[in-house]
Chains A and B, each alone.
Chain A
């Protein structure tokens, strides 16, 4: 299974007032195992919509998404959830940790949803990996922004995903913390051999991925030869 993500003629239209608004228009591309790609573009260009559709969080108006071999359009909401649980990791701009759970508990959630017995052991290992071995029992409110994002990364990797979607992972962090997080992200990604899809405004960050997909008004801008720079 070399193709991890196949996007074909993806279109998303929203009803707006009396008319309709096309946010994403006939987007197609493919990603292979281990690829790193950034999706860049100005605000409102359809980056987050593309991410949502590619990860099976939303259903397209037309077009197809094939994620890890599954045709997401033919699956029910709950079947898509199972695919995500098994194959997909997420990192959000605003971390999206569950405030009522400790760092350790937040990390275990995806594994526990699979019914894995080693969820806690694996979570502790990952928290050690991200440098938070001594903060396992802390709640999100007791952690700094950078620490919260590290917990979120540990959570994203606990089910050893085939593909990781990161939505502006440094958007809520200061420059230094952001840089550390990016380093960690690429490090974890490389170790796990995960395909990485990064949505960002930050061209410097985008430049760290092997490939850049540009969006403008919902359409794909033809790819140019980017200076490839791995982190």
Chain B
């Protein structure tokens, strides 16, 4: 009997295979997305495992914000192996050829590193030669931006280097990281040491290649207390590998979730198509029932067809997914630390296919359940009463609905980086789907209950199409609405984030910051800026310090006490200032801001709210800071709220005037330029005269943020595209399936005297309203989601980018109309007689 069921299912699909194939295409992209992303993820993990040593470039590394103290140097000596040191710092790089300057991360490197893998450069030999010829390797983007060629010179501080080559890739750094701050590699021996003077931020690193018998993780474990006491971070291959593994797994799993969305949408499309398909098969099923087929046999025949669709979809999706996978390294390349070799991960293909088949089958079950309600009597009467039987199926449908929800949640939890994210994702999908479905139902109910009066025949007919039997309004709104929702949320998030840093154009606010200014240089720098007709908006002293005790308990003892936990606020190095006023970005929440220090007793301090929370301190609590070896005691006199988005020098701690004025400090001077040229000119002028002074042009920072975000959003949009295309495929399927009904209507209208134009206008009205309902609902939901993202993720002001959103709405409507019309082409051209004959 099983064989017969399969044979009959195959025979019954004759004449509908093209249609069934079209239904299947709506789930193909979802499977493709999952297969490509999971397969890519597997390859990525393999690449990271395989190249784990090249990720760090060494067996062990140590990093410190200050030169290694004698204790640590002794440990370094005792560790032996082959060692290579590196000192990294931010500094202005001045290019004499173009008379331009740009803030860069300079890495002073000793020969040897990396011990595993290599620095990739163009020409390749430059990665070695620069170390011995006072050369420099410069980030490719920076070279292109400033038109630097090999052989040109670059000045950093008082040292001038010859550009040996272009930096392509180095251990521990991805292209995306380099976008934040371009890298310049120079020989450590040739670094201008004055740039590493007090107050300048530098990272001192040492890399080890140990003997094979040594276990780097065991070494770090045994030294952990000493290292922590000196604020030294140690890193091993295993730790580096697991960090990358974790963050990259999160990345591709997140993308997988977006792909999973396409699969869900596609499956809904399949379910909706099967629903209509089964309606068209009522007579066949009834005849089978008349001749003795049981309801289970009839059900099994169409379940087999659904299974076949799932298999075809899984196969095609896997094939496309494997093809797409080769594109992912190109799209994600900037975020990856290693080159990913292309190879097919069969486990990913299997999982993707299984998900595709499983989700298709379970979504197809819902319409297939109706088969059990088709009585043999339907062969005699077309107006058979199905309502009574529907009630019988209610329990089965609810059960199935629960199973669907469970499956969707389980897959989301498996796919998501964390359980909470998986559950949150399922909940969000459920809410968005429910709201979209609610909107669709509301539109249909409203149009059915209150057909518009006083409008033209064309509009009346077009609107009626949205709620007539076998309409696809619900599916359309779900599929297109969700795609719109994803893209729109991305656009809103992007503009909200960029809006926060788009301060360069704010009148009167500084957009050019000079820092690392030595006390003796402040006055002459201010003079230089003012002579260039630029305003000096602010000048602030910055003093580096660390906390040594909080509320009378030393940080040292807190570190030793395993019961107390040290927060970042306990451990960090602070840069504080002294002044007798509050800035525009500061508001006192508690206590009184003391602007002046009398010279005796504890110093009144003002602390930022979040730091106060982390340190668990309040008004009156005492603190001790260590400033360059000198302990300075104070108490909290006020707690401030700081608006960090204001382009201002903001501080966690503000000391009063007269308290730490004599401490070793460096200064920040802020100015404003109106044009990029003026900004470039003053920066070049300053760096030429004071090589140690660095500057940041906020508009450059903005450009960098834009570049980073555009790469991230490109990846997300690429994934969202799957949903949009799936939506359009579902639309095509829906239009195709109701094609005969449309032809009949068109013929009747034609017979009654409607022109081609009228028929086209009716269809356009229908698709227009579908597009409007889908895109507006999607956008409205995305506004809510965007608000949530801005409020809880970015903690920023919510900004609505009206232009791009309107463009998105117009595009969705336009594409819906075009796809709808394309699939309906030829409907008008059918001869009336052909159609009427077919009816009998």
- A interface residue numbers (CB < 8 A to B): 14, 48, 51-52, 55, 57-58, 77-78, 81-82, 84-86, 90, 92, 96-101, 105, 109-110, 112-115, 155, 167, 172
A-B contact pairs, 9 of them (CB 8 A): A48-B380, A52-B377, A55-B290, A84-B290, A85-B291, A96-B379, A97-B287, A98-B288, A100-B284
**Cα–Cα, bound, A161→B164 (Å):** 96
**Cα–Cα, bound, A155→B16 (Å):** 24
With A112-B4, A113-B293 as given contacts, are A101 and B385 in contact (CB-CB < 8 Å)? no
For residue A126, give the distance in angstroms from its CB to the closest CB of chain B.
14
In contact, A14 and B385 (Cβ under 8 angstroms): yes
**Cα–Cα, bound, A101→B377 (Å):** 21
With A58-B375, A77-B295, A84-B376 as given contacts, are A100 and B290 in contact (CB-CB < 8 Å)? no
B296 at the binding interface (Cβ < 8 Å) = yes
Name the residue on B nearest A101 (C-beta). B11
5 closest residue pairs by CB, A with B: A85-B292, A78-B294, A110-B291, A100-B14, A57-B376
Contact residues in B for A155 (Cβ distance below 8 Å): 291
Which of A84, A99, A100 gathers the greatest number of chain B CB atoms within 10 Å? A100
In contact, A48 and B292 (Cβ under 8 angstroms): no
Q: Pick the contact of A167 from B14, B294, B296, B380 — CB < 8 Å?
A: B380
Contact-size category for B: 20 to 34
Contact residues in B for A86 (Cβ distance below 8 Å): 292
**Cα–Cα, bound, A86→B1 (Å):** 16
Contact residues in A for B744 (Cβ distance below 8 Å): none
**Cα–Cα, bound, A167→B12 (Å):** 25
Contact residues in B for A57 (Cβ distance below 8 Å): 290, 375-377, 379-380
B418 at the binding interface (Cβ < 8 Å) = no
Name the residue on A nearest B294 (C-beta). A78
- B interface residue numbers (CB < 8 A to A): 1, 4, 8, 11-16, 283-284, 286-297, 375-377, 379-381, 385, 840
Contact residues in B for A48 (Cβ distance below 8 Å): 380-381
Which of A52, A57, A82, A114 gathers the greatest number of chain B CB atoms within 10 Å? A57
Name the residue on A nearest B12 (C-beta). A100
For residue A152, give the distance in angstroms from its CB to the closest CB of chain B.
10
Q: Pick the contact of B292 from A101, A105, A110, A167 — CB < 8 Å?
A: A110
Contact residues in B for A85 (Cβ distance below 8 Å): 291-293
Name the residue on B nearest A89 (C-beta). B291
Name the residue on A nearest B290 (C-beta). A90
In contact, A109 and B291 (Cβ under 8 angstroms): yes
Contact residues in A for B11 (Cβ distance below 8 Å): 100-101, 105
In contact, B379 and A82 (Cβ under 8 angstroms): no
Contact residues in A for B288 (Cβ distance below 8 Å): 98, 109, 113
With A57-B375, A81-B376, A92-B380 as given contacts, are A113 and B292 in contact (CB-CB < 8 Å)? yes
**Cα–Cα, bound, A86→B293 (Å):** 11
In contact, A113 and B4 (Cβ under 8 angstroms): yes
In contact, B287 and A98 (Cβ under 8 angstroms): yes
In contact, B377 and A78 (Cβ under 8 angstroms): no
Known pairs A78-B295, A81-B295, A101-B11; list 7 more (Cβ under 8 Å). Answer: A52-B377, A90-B379, A96-B286, A100-B14, A105-B11, A110-B291, A112-B8
**Cα–Cα, bound, A57→B283 (Å):** 14
**Cα–Cα, bound, A157→B1 (Å):** 21
**Cα–Cα, bound, A97→B375 (Å):** 17
Name the residue on B nearest A102 (C-beta). B11
Contact residues in A for B12 (Cβ distance below 8 Å): 98, 100-101
In contact, A52 and B292 (Cβ under 8 angstroms): no
Name the residue on B nearest A155 (C-beta). B291
For residue A49, give the distance in angstroms from its CB to the closest CB of chain B.
9
In contact, B16 and A51 (Cβ under 8 angstroms): no
For residue A161, give the distance in angstroms from its CB to the closest CB of chain B.
10
Q: Pick the contact of A96 from B1, B8, B13, B287 — CB < 8 Å?
A: B287
In contact, B380 and A100 (Cβ under 8 angstroms): no
For residue A166, give the distance in angstroms from its CB to the closest CB of chain B.
12
Which of B11, B380, B840 gathers the greatest number of chain A CB atoms within 10 Å? B380
Contact residues in A for B4 (Cβ distance below 8 Å): 112-113, 115
Contact residues in B for A52 (Cβ distance below 8 Å): 377, 380-381
Contact residues in A for B289 (Cβ distance below 8 Å): 81
In contact, B292 and A84 (Cβ under 8 angstroms): yes
Name the residue on B nearest A95 (C-beta). B287
For residue B302, give the distance in angstroms from its CB to the closest CB of chain A.
13
**Cα–Cα, bound, A81→B12 (Å):** 20
**Cα–Cα, bound, A100→B15 (Å):** 7
